[in-house]
Amino acid sequence: MTSASPASRPRVRFAPSPTGFLHVGGARTALFNWLYAKKYDGDFLLRIEDTDRQRSTEDSTRAIFDGLAWLGLTWDEEVVYQGANVAQHYADAHRLLETGAAYRDFTPPSVIETLRAEAEAKGEGFRFDRSLAAYSESELAAKLAAGEPYAIRFRVPEGHTEWIDLVHGRIAFPNKDIEDFVILRSDGTPVYNLAVVSDDIAARVTLVMRGDDHISNTPKQILLYRALGAHVPEFAHVPMIHGTDGKKLSKRHGATAVGDYQHQGMLPQAMLNFLALLGWSTGDDTEVMTLDELVARFDTRGLHAKAAIFDTKKLEWMNGQHLARLPIAELATLMAPLFERAGLATVADLTARHEWFCGVLELLRIRARLTDEIVAQAGPFFTDAVEYDADAVAKQWRDAAATADVLEATHDALAALATWEPAAMEEALRQLAEQRGISGGKVFQPLRVALTGLTVSPGIFDVLLYVGRERSLARILAAVGYLRSPA
């Protein structure tokens, strides 16, 4: 395949149609283009392909902006709205008409429909026969004078059209299989293939990287570039995304909108890392990468031709990996608003207790794959009282009277400590166990329920440390009270 390093300053683009939310497949395509631009010091352009006025919505355009912003895929230059370029599309179609690369077709749509139905009835594909639009000069003049509406069709030349795709290698289409396609409808609106080529020429795009569902459009687009006398860019058609059952990714497989993952507690860097591996790999086993590492390692030679599998379990795993690796101060900045939203603390509180908050996050992130799970485990560090989980009580506080005694002794041993430090706490509690002739677990497990209400938590001495002396001691006494006079 061709070398990965482009000759001129690269210009790539992401060109979504704003007809729904930002799909993970779209975000993946945007990411590949973005990585390419960063890697080769080029420009990443955003074009909103809103020519389909009926299906395009402002909400969808906003969802695209929001999704890209969350992922940090910032674009260079002003956003281009395709709808604003129709005059150029119109002019390009008429230029092709003047050079003879295109022709007017006055065939009424109803006639085309009849011909199409007839061909289909015979089990044949319909292809426009250009002899239908072979008008004499006087016929043409009469139709124009009468103001008859016409479409403009591209005159597909003989031969074949080929390109070296950066993903698939050489792809060739015999031109006889391509019909003389419409480029401008009779109402003056451009057809997709013309609009996209016209816009990509105007934007001086050097590489078109998009989903491989567009492969069949590419020969038509290459023919248009040539007929317009423009430089043909490179093409890279990236694979479709399937669910774990091998079928095209759809809502059946779970969330397909980038925004949904944002709201499920995914980190943008984990989402980016996961998306990057949908149709691309480094060539070695490296999977967990920061955005900088992705930029450094991205290479179109690592793009795959076969469909990528979207596995939500892997995404969650990836998120856990990034949660574990994120510099703790960054995690704190990211998590503080989530704690505020959950009503546990304000961002201002957390900023004031930055070191303590970072310590709590260090403890909680070990068991979490999602940011939401960190918040869900955080209660014991923030609230005054804890709720006792029924299973935890049944398991660790079975003998209420004996447990109350052990907890009381635990309280006294901890209260007697001169410093609130894990090593001292551990020594005191191990001594207590020994004195009572019980195992350490018989002290630590009931204590864990007293402090957190749960059977699972970070290490018990870390919990004591971060819940703090006063709160811990009060909580142990509350447990003793609860066990001696259960409601």
Taking CA atoms, 165 is separated from 106, 208, 210, in Å, by: 36, 10, 11
Which of 403, 414, 396 has the alpha carbon at shortest distance from 472? 414
Question: Least distance from C-beta 95 to ligand GLU, angstroms?
Answer: 21
Q: Which two tokens stand for residue 400?
A: 């209420």
Question: Least distance from C-beta 214 to ligand GLU, angstroms?
Answer: 6
Are 46 and 66 in contact by the 8 Å Cβ rule? The answer is no
Q: Which two tokens stand for residue 445?
A: 């497990």
- Within residues 34-73, the interface with ligand GLU by CB under 6 A covers 49
Choose, by CB under 6 A, the member of 6, 10, 12, 15 that binds ligand GLU: 15
Choose, by CB under 6 A, the member of 80, 196, 278, 345 that binds ligand GLU: 196
Tell me the window of 11-19, 229-237, 313-321, 475-483 that interacts with ligand GLU (CB under 6 A). 11-19
Closer by beta carbon to ligand GLU, 15 or else 270 = 15
Closer by beta carbon to ligand GLU, 17 or else 175 = 17
Tell me the window of 12-20, 266-274, 337-345, 369-377 that interacts with ligand GLU (CB under 6 A). 12-20
Tell me the window of 9-17, 157-165, 425-433, 472-480 that interacts with ligand GLU (CB under 6 A). 9-17
Residue 210 within binding range of ligand GLU, rule CB under 6 A: yes
Concerning whether 313 is annotated as a catalytic residue, the answer is: no
Tell me the window of 15-23, 119-127, 222-230, 302-310 that interacts with ligand GLU (CB under 6 A). 15-23
Tell me the window of 10-18, 105-113, 350-358, 457-465 that interacts with ligand GLU (CB under 6 A). 10-18
Closer by beta carbon to ligand GLU, 203 or else 267 = 203
Closer by beta carbon to ligand GLU, 214 or else 484 = 214
Closer by beta carbon to ligand GLU, 235 or else 381 = 235
- Within residues 365-394, the interface with ligand GLU by CB under 6 A covers none
Residue 165 within binding range of ligand GLU, rule CB under 6 A: no
Are 207 and 138 in contact by the 8 Å Cβ rule? The answer is no
- Within residues 113-152, the interface with ligand GLU by CB under 6 A covers none
Closer by beta carbon to ligand GLU, 15 or else 184 = 15
Question: Least distance from C-beta 349 to ligand GLU, angstroms?
Answer: 45
Nearest position to ligand GLU, beta carbon: 210
- How many residues at the interface with ligand GLU, by CB under 6 A? 7
Tell me the window of 14-22, 136-144, 295-303, 383-391 that interacts with ligand GLU (CB under 6 A). 14-22
Which of 162, 153, 157, 152 has the alpha carbon at shortest distance from 176? 157
Closer by beta carbon to ligand GLU, 103 or else 173 = 173
Residue 190 phi, psi dihedral angles, 5° rounding: -80, 155
Choose, by CB under 6 A, the member of 6, 16, 67, 219 that binds ligand GLU: 16
- Within residues 211-270, the interface with ligand GLU by CB under 6 A covers 214
Closer by beta carbon to ligand GLU, 17 or else 290 = 17
Residue 17 within binding range of ligand GLU, rule CB under 6 A: yes
Out of 251, 314, 395, 442, the active site residue is 251
| Catalytic residue IDs | 251
The footprint of ligand GLU (CB under 6 A) covers 15-17, 49, 196, 210, 214
